[in-house]
A and B are shown apart, each in its own frame.
Chain A
Amino acid sequence: MNRIIRGNIIDITGILIIALALFLVSLSSGVKVSSDFPPSLLNLNTIFLSILIEALPFVLIGVLIAGMIQIFVTEEHIQRWIPKNKIMAVIMSCVVGALFPACECGIVPIVRRLVSKGVPIYAAMGFMLTGPLINPIVIASTYMAFGNDIKIAGLRMGLGFIIAIIVAMIVSMLFKGNQFKASLHLSHSHEQVKDETFMNRFWSMLTHSIDEFFDMAKYLIMGAFLAAFVQTYMPAKSLLEAGSGPVSSLLVMMGLAYVLSLCSEADAFIGASFSNLFPTPSILGFLIFGPMIDLKNTLMMLSVFRFKFVFGVLSIVASIIFITLMLLKGFI
């Protein structure tokens, strides 16, 4: 008897967990909260869940890719691929990011894994900044949102790319090492994995992905909650009234992009709805800053990198975008 249980223990626990989950679900449907629950909290909850539901597929893809990098890419690969020259490395990383169709929610686990595999921090940042900003879906949605006009979409991609390169360059000058939090040690080499079969490697890729998911999920959830909170309770109107001059309107739009934490595939429509309240440079500030770094993303980065580094990158990105757009405002 004991042996039978031992032999099937995984099946048995699986079934027990499924039963428990179904029990909890059926329990929950009995206690639906009544309608006198404050509507603003329900709004908050709906927005919160919608951000999560939208982000989860991308996060899952992100952690799966991260798991793949962890298991199948070795330090030697990275050393061979990344150019020794810093400038070349930055440009390459930005190009790879531009070709790589990522979303800003899924990119942090990938970046973390790349850095732990020995990708220099500046190259990883270049990749992180262009990944969500430049991809076909973003181009198409921006094109559409601005009345089928290629100008804004083109400026968004072009300026974004240049800004990403500048930021990555500055990062390469200011920050050394991997910038991981002290509590996270740079990892273990998986040398021993080489001898294992493909199935085993595939399996450990998946288990790594699960751990990665649990690492990221809590930051994603906090970020989604904060963004939903801001949307539910912060009146955009007062912000809009605050942003009258070119400087303040750019600051307002960048601030909005940061706190709203919209997906880069969808933010063009929101940006477009401001398009004549504010001048074009401010709209571009919204469209470029949001995908690069936002509230949700900052929290996820804080789970991996040092506080000083995250805020360093955040302020570099913000100031470079601000300066670039201010300089170019006469030409746009």
Chain B
Amino acid sequence: MIFNFQQAIRALILLAFTILIFHLHFTGDITKFINPKYVGLSQSASIIFLLLFFIQITRIWTNRENHHDRCHHNHDDHNCEHHHDHGNTPFTVKKLFSYLIIISPLLSGFLLPAKILDAAIAEKKGGMAILTNQKQMADAGLNNGSSENNNKTGTEERYVDDNTEENEIDENLLIHENADPNDLEQNTITKDEYEQLTQELLQNSNIVMDEAMFATYYDEISMNIDKYKGKNIELTGFVYKEAGLKQEQLVISRYLISHCVADASIIGFLTELPEASSIKEDTWIKAKGILDVTTYNGTVLPYIKITNWEKVSEPKEPYLYPLNIKVL
């Protein structure tokens, strides 16, 4: 019997992958990496790894006779050279290097904590440039006069302010009832339900941006800014700032994960609140305010005038996941 050291290493690596993925699922950290929709897929990866591990352990000990397994049988031709490594060839520095590469995600996965993407990444992803260009769709729908509107600080704004106090009372008018938890878990709604949701959103004077609906409402509001102007809005997000924002401005943003963290896209509202300069980036805040319209670098954007806000701790599920609309 011969002990194949490399085969043993491979078995260990396969098992380590199984455990790493299982560990992430077990601790719930997996949602810090991928959209929960794909959790089943990565669980099956873990199971396949486990199966492969069980197969791999049978290769650790080989009898001297069939050491070169099947190659031994047809030696008359020289076709035997496999074009991939069976793990039986001598251990070289090059191989050590490849094994080191393979174990690097295992090490970093076990040793380093999963991090929620922060504002630094938002900046790398394009920050306001991305936010403003998402809104250009809405731009087309707006008349040219709209950009002037938000510069008029006089009567109009006061009117909006009055509106707030009135509306703050009827907070019960939330649109929560639409959100059937079962549907949201699957994150799938039908097209009719979607239309209905946006209809109700239009009629409501209070908009609550809860986790499940954040992205959908965000799109809807961005596309039809004028229709939502003056409504109350309540949202939670982390603070993002960049050069070019005014002292009293900040962006309340969230990441939208369609598949995994690597494809996170940033969405967020430009907001105005007097204490903005004192709030650090990456602080999670819960804010209430009134929707307005502004222009930023020539683009018309929804703009929230914050009426009250508080610091909150990072939510359990900091990421948003897109709502799937059944097309058929």
Contacts and interface: CB of A to CB of B under 8 A. Distances in A.
B218 to A, nearest CB: 12
Interface in A183-232: 184-193, 203-204, 206-207, 209-215, 217-218, 221-222, 224-225, 227-228, 231-232
B14 interface: yes
Interface in A301-325: none
Contacts of B110: 24-25, 28-29
A17 B17 CA distance: 13
Interface string B1-40: 1000000101111111101010110000010111000100
B3 to A, nearest CB: 8
A180 interface: yes
Secondary structure of the B side of the interface?
A: helix
Given A13-B8, A141-B258, A210-B10, A43 B115 contact: yes
Interface stretch (B99-107, B205-213, B269-277, B305-313): B99-107
A40 B41 CA distance: 28
A50 B324 contact: no
Interface string B156-170: 000000000000000
B55 A49 contact: no
A174 interface: no
B173 interface: no
B20 to A, nearest CB: 8
B252 interface: no
Given A9-B61, A17-B15, A277-B129, A53 B98 contact: no
A237 B123 contact: yes
Interface in B88-120: 98, 101-102, 104-105, 108-115, 117-118, 120
A48 B260 contact: no
Interface stretch (A54-62, A77-85, A121-129, A164-172): A54-62
Contacts of A327: none
Contacts of A18: 15
Contact of A54 (B38, B87, B256): B38
Contact of B259 (A54, A211, A233): A54
Contacts of B129: 236-237, 240-241, 277
A176 interface: no
Contacts of B1: 6, 9
Which of B30, B83, B86 has the most chain A CB atoms inside 10 A of its CB? B83
A148 B133 contact: no
A55 B259 CA distance: 11
Interface stretch (B45-53, B229-237, B287-295): B45-53
Nearest to B60: A13
B9 to A, nearest CB: 10
A221 B102 contact: yes
Sort chain B's interface into a size bin.
Answer: 35 or more
A116 to B, nearest CB: 7
A143 interface: yes
Contact of A57 (B45, B85, B124): B45
A9 B2 CA distance: 11
Main secondary structure of the interface of A (DSSP, over half): helix
A145 to B, nearest CB: 8
A32 B110 CA distance: 8
B265 A214 contact: no
B258 A269 contact: yes
Contact of B32 (A24, A46, A268): A46
B12 to A, nearest CB: 5
A20 interface: yes
Contacts of B184: none
A28 B111 contact: yes
Interface centre among A9, A191, A266 (most CB of B within 10 A): A266
Nearest to A239: B126
Contacts of B261: 46-47, 50
A39 B115 contact: yes
B71 interface: yes
22 contacts: A9-B1, A13-B61, A14-B54, A14-B57, A25-B110, A43-B117, A46-B115, A50-B262, A57-B44, A60-B45, A147-B137, A187-B82, A192-B70, A192-B74, A203-B55, A214-B98, A231-B121, A235-B124, A236-B124, A237-B126, A266-B260, A275-B134
Interface of B: 1, 8, 10-17, 19, 21, 23-24, 30, 32-34, 38, 41-42, 44-45, 48-49, 51-52, 54-61, 70-71, 73-74, 79-87, 98, 101-102, 104-105, 108-115, 117-118, 120-121, 123-127, 129-130, 133-134, 136-137, 139, 191, 219, 256, 258-263, 265, 322, 324-325, 327
Given A14-B11, A221-B102, A274-B133, 18 more contacts: A10-B57, A13-B11, A21-B16, A29-B110, A39-B120, A53-B260, A57-B44, A57-B45, A184-B84, A190-B70, A211-B82, A215-B84, A221-B104, A231-B125, A237-B123, A240-B129, A261-B262, A276-B134
